[in-house]
Amino acid sequence: MSAGFEEFTLAATRGSTRGAPERPTLDRISVLGGEADARLLAALCLAEGAEVTLFSAYGAELSLLAQSSGISLRGEGPVGTYQVDRDGPSVRTTAELDATVRDAQVIFLTGPLHKQRTYAMVLADHLSDGQILVLAPGRSMGAVETAWLLRIGGCTADITLVEVQGLPYWFRSEGAALTLSQAAPMAAATLPRGRDEVLDALSMYLPNVQAVESVLASGFNDISAAVEIPALILSGTAMGTGGPDIPMGGVPLEANQTFASLIGPDQKEVIHGLVDERRRIAAAFGVRNLPATEQWISTFAGAERGSGARPIPDQQTSRGLMRDGVQGSLAPLVSAGELAGIPSPLTNSLIAMSDRILGADVAAAGRRLESIGVSADDVDQARRIFDTIVTGAS
């Protein structure tokens, strides 16, 4: 780890040893991004009475909101239509980043991985002491990468990074409307470690956060790509799928066409192998208290039907999930495994398949330890570096 990054992590933990801090009131929220996940977060925060500003640099995203009656939530959760740029309680939209974040207590970084990275770089000059940056989903080592990018950008503010592995709801997007179903608890942690009062305060907006020890633990708790990519690409007559048996000539009911229905015994065999590789590598870095495999799979796949079911994404969304999964979940695992001397052949195979389908070397832009400030010769040195990053200890 460079001296500069160690200096940043020390600066970012000023006051982290304070005793029994009170739960803060977080009611000024900025959401960066205008895609469906950003609209969901904006509506959830407005539903809890927060002042919400949504930033987007894309005219199409802002036009969608301007032309609609608001952000409509259906299904489970706080259903209703949440106004945008109207009198009274309303989500305020803007294309001015500095104005968006200036007075915000909480800043959500949304969208695909490349947008989260861009936000981290451009935010470096605009952050102030006490602000909270939330990556949802952070995937594997998202908070560490964000801290590194902020450091490169010159940020020295005393901020808290939050890495959470999923949103409170699965959703299907239709225009500005979102149909929701309840998601399972998702692992979350703060950087620096120990700011549990932040997670407690955020729970009003993210009620499914499940605190774990550190962002290293939350990163290894991420099996999103290990579930999503096999479910999305391993189908056809050679492999069965989940869900109820359909008689010959029958048509599956729409209610049974869920993400979990894509995962049958054959797909589960692949997922179990990927999970086993993650467990072995996590153990080498001191992370052992990971969930039971079947429960872990259902966390990211959603329920098979009914309440908590995850919709099947369209092709464009699926390819985005694959791209982010390779870069933000599989690539960092392989990097960690290489340093620990633990092979991950199944994970590498899944990366190669995804790269082929996407028509690009997606993994080349993936998170690797050495590219996010963790330059080590062996796993013991890497563990010491991670401990410095998550705690601020010198």
The pLDDT value recorded for residue 2 is 44
User: Low-confidence residues of the chain, pLDDT below 50?
Assistant: 1-18, 250-251, 253, 392-394
The reported pLDDT for the residue numbered 375 is 87
Tell me, what's the pLDDT at 208?
96
* Model confidence pLDDT, tens digit, residues 100-110: 999 999 999 99
For the chain, the residue count is 394
Domain ranges of the chain: 3-219, 224-391
Half-sphere exposure (Cβ direction) of 248: Cα atoms closer than 13 Å: 0
Instruction: Specify the CATH number of the domain 224-391.
Output: 1.10.1040.10
pLDDT at 183: 97
Looking at residue 13, its amino acid is T
Per-residue pLDDT, 75: 95
Instruction: Say what the pTM is.
Output: 0.90
224-391 matches 3-219 in CATH topology: no
Q: What is the pLDDT of residue 170?
A: 97
pLDDT at 254: 57
- Measured distance CA(181)–CA(195) in Å, rounded: 29
Asked: is 3-219 a CATH 3.40.50.720 domain? The reply is yes
Our CA angle for 166, 96, 34, nearest 5°, is: 35
